Amino acid sequence: MYFNTMFQRTVIDSLLYERRKKIDMIAACSNNIQPNDIDNFIDAITNCINSIQLDDLPLDTLLEQTETNINLILDGTFRGFTNDDVNAVQKIKESFQYFKKRFPDYKKDRAERERDLKNKFSSKHDLARKIINHLNWDDQDFISRYKTYINFKYDIEEPLAAITLRKWENQLTKPSDYRRGCKFKFLVHAIGTDANDALKQAKSRPIISTSLITDEFQGTYRKSEFGFVYQPNLKNVLLICSSDCYVNDFYFCEDRINAEFFSLTSIPLGPNKYLEYNSIKTCKTMHIEEIENDSKEYQNSGIENISGHELYNEIVLLNDPSTNPIAVFLLETEDTREWSVGQAEELATRLKLPLLRI
């Protein structure tokens, strides 16, 4: 968490610095502006200031989903939590109300300043000082908002995830307990290649995209018939979504960091890369029951995604040294290809893992 915090703060500082350099160049010409150019000048300054956005849709939806996840425990919709868990969540909710108000306040403050912006800039008198003063306030707002988000992660998201993910761990079926034909819940990474490539790719990326499958639904990426089984925990779970959250692994060098695409909810993975996702209903604290209910509904209604495949859920794991497959799964039906059977058997043999025939 400390590394992620420092990395993201470095990104923010870089964005603010680049913005200030651009505005300094524009402000340097302020004394030579002609009356008929003042509107274009103001627009250029305003657009540059607004290149660092406070309107962060992923953050807004994260707050909404987190509040939903809290209430689902407190109103008894999802059970199986201890009294200590419920009491802890009640305290988390009390803190959550504070953070919920703070984020809109930053946008409100900026909007109020922008209403005065053109009035202040309409006079050329001491224009450069007015620009820098406005920029200083905006920098402070953005950094303060970032600190509020970090405190939200420490005080709300991580403590809540510790409770919800403990339930995930307890409800998932252990490979040694699995019996064919019985109920099960597994977190699986579907493989769409052969065993050799799968082994090469197993640790080549900083993330692993997995899906929850059960005896009631088995939606996998590209309808893959085999793959790895993983165990989630507080340390390695990054995102949970009841559908494909369209997660992408972006590798950004310092000179490619772009304010237009930056979000506080981007997840740092290392010194030159971070994770972005596009789905709205995405959160680290999603309940396992919610994923199950949505997946069953999608499967029963025959909903398909834009690629024509039946929808699947997505749980994104950090592919750190401790995140390794605990089994190999194989979905066996009348339509299962012999190739898939052979590849699954090869993976299980080479990695000395149990092969779960489902």
The pLDDT confidence band at residue 298, using thresholds 50, 70 and 90, is: confident
293 touches 321 (CB < 8 A): no
Query: Does the structure show a pLDDT above 70 at 306?
Result: no
Span 146-166, average pLDDT: 96
pTM for this predicted structure: 0.89
The pLDDT confidence band at residue 247, using thresholds 50, 70 and 90, is: confident
Question: Rounded distance, CA 229 to CA 189, Å?
Answer: 6
Span 278-304, average pLDDT: 86
Q: What Å distances lie between residue 75 and 71, 79, 140, 160, CA to CA?
A: 6, 9, 38, 15
Question: Which range is least confidently modeled, 30-39, 40-49, 93-102, 104-113?
Answer: 30-39
Element (H, E) at 149: helix 127-152
Span 274-287, average pLDDT: 88
Which residues have a Cβ under 8 Å from the Cβ of 97 and sit 6 or more positions away? none
Span 242-261, average pLDDT: 75
- What separation, in Å, do the N-terminal and C-terminal C-alpha atoms of the chain show? 37
Q: What is the pLDDT of residues 11-36, one digit of tens each?
A: 899 899 999 988 888 777 766 777 77
Query: Does the structure show a pLDDT above 70 at 307?
Result: no
When the pLDDT of each residue in the chain is averaged and rounded to a whole number, the result is: 88
Query: Does the structure show a pLDDT above 80 at 252?
Result: no
Span 242-252, average pLDDT: 81
φ and ψ of 144, to 5 deg: -65, -40
Query: Which residue in this structure is represented by tokens 């996702």?
Result: 277
CB atoms under 10 Å from CB of 42, counted, come to 18
The pLDDT confidence band at residue 6, using thresholds 50, 70 and 90, is: confident
Span 317-323, average pLDDT: 93
Span 311-335, average pLDDT: 93
Q: What is the pLDDT of residues 195-219, one digit of tens each?
A: 999 998 888 889 999 999 999 999 8
Query: Does the structure show a pLDDT above 50 at 236?
Result: yes
**One-letter amino acid identity for 331?**
L
Question: Rounded distance, CA 316 to CA 60, Å?
Answer: 20
Question: Rounded distance, CA 227 to CA 256, Å?
Answer: 35
**One-letter amino acid identity for 172?**
L
How confident is the model at residue 182, as a pLDDT? 95
How confident is the model at residue 305, as a pLDDT? 56
Q: Which residue has the higher pLDDT, 347 or 272?
A: 347
Which residues have a Cβ under 8 Å from the Cβ of 291 and sit 6 or more positions away? 212, 240, 242, 313, 315
| Spatial CA neighbour of 356 closest among 184, 208, 224, 167 | 184
How confident is the model at residue 283, as a pLDDT? 93
- For residue 336, with 0-12 CB atoms within 10 Å meaning exposed, 13-18 middle and 19 or more buried, which class applies? middle
